[in-house]
Amino acid sequence: MISSHAVSKSTFRLSMVAAVVAAAYTAYEGWEANVHAYNDTLQMVLTYECGGGQSDDNLRTALNGARIDLSKVGCSNQPFFWASYNEIVQAREGKLRREKLSDIPMFRLNIEGAAAIVNAVNWFVLVNVLGVVFLCGRTVVRWLHRGLQEYLFSMRADSRPLAPRASRVPNVGPPRRLLERVMVGSPHGRAFFFRPVPKLTN
């Protein structure tokens, strides 16, 4: 089974990879959002510049109150694209392009960079926390498994029949061996209680 040290080491490496991937993905998302905003603003600026390239007589035909509908002069596919005459003048002078497009950077360290760092830290902490939870869960499972094994072993031992007690009488062998042991100690090699009894005479 994999040791806890190996699991911790692998979890740390995985958390580093997850943090790098999360930071890169967050930075890419921020960059992509800025690119979309830049393209939308550029399309708007091109529409204003198209209106700025029109003659005043042509713009006067598209005038509706104080604003000009650039869709009527063929500069926009969207209906009712309104523009003021001041914006048309700025588009002719090139000021509108500089003001609108210069405010959209592709990557900002204090916004996209900070978001990438925060997301990387979150994933780093999350993966390591999951590793700690895995180790704790595995320890609890091992503890429960060991306790269950001990409980089943004790139940099995209690259900076994008791073995019969051994006899307290020592095993002295056959009767002849017992007789030889009784005769030990006799000076003549014969037990005193086996001596012939003398006959009494009158």
Tens-place pLDDT, residues 37-86: 899 889 988 988 888 888 888 888 888 777 888 888 888 887 778 888 88
Print the domain residue range for 97: 4-142
User: Long-range pairs for 142-151 at CB < 8 Å and ≥24 separation?
Assistant: none
- Does any domain span residue 172? no
Instruction: List the single range of 27-31, 164-168, 182-186 with lowest mean pLDDT.
Output: 182-186
Rounded CA-CA distance 85/78 in Å is: 19
- Does any domain span residue 148? no
- Does any domain span residue 199? no
Which pLDDT score, from 0 to 100, does residue 169 have? 53
How many secondary structure helices (H) and strands (E) does the chain include?
A: 6, 3
**In sequence order, which residues have a C-beta less than 8 Å from that of residue 58 and are 6 or more positions away?**
73
Which pLDDT score, from 0 to 100, does residue 1 have? 65
- Does any domain span residue 38? yes
Q: How far is CA 16 from the centre of its chain?
A: 12
pTM equals 0.58
* pLDDT exceeds cutoff 90 at 15: yes
- Does any domain span residue 39? yes
Asked if 71 and 77 count as a contact pair (C-beta separation under 8 A), the reply is yes
Predicted confidence (pLDDT) per residue in 112-147, tens digit: 889 999 999 999 999 999 999 998 998 899 899 888
Q: State the pLDDT confidence band at 32, using cuts at 50, 70 and 90.
A: very high
- Does any domain span residue 58? yes
Rounded CA-CA distance 8/25 in Å is: 25
Asked if 51 and 68 count as a contact pair (C-beta separation under 8 A), the reply is yes
Q: State the pLDDT confidence band at 24, using cuts at 50, 70 and 90.
A: very high
CA angle (171, 172, 178) in 5-degree steps: 160
- Does any domain span residue 52? yes
Which pLDDT score, from 0 to 100, does residue 123 have? 95
The more confident residue out of 119 and 3 is: 119
Over residues 15-31, mean pLDDT: 93
Predicted confidence (pLDDT) per residue in 156-177, tens digit: 876 766 555 555 555 555 555 5
- Does any domain span residue 188? no
Which pLDDT score, from 0 to 100, does residue 116 have? 93
**Tally of domains in the chain:** 1
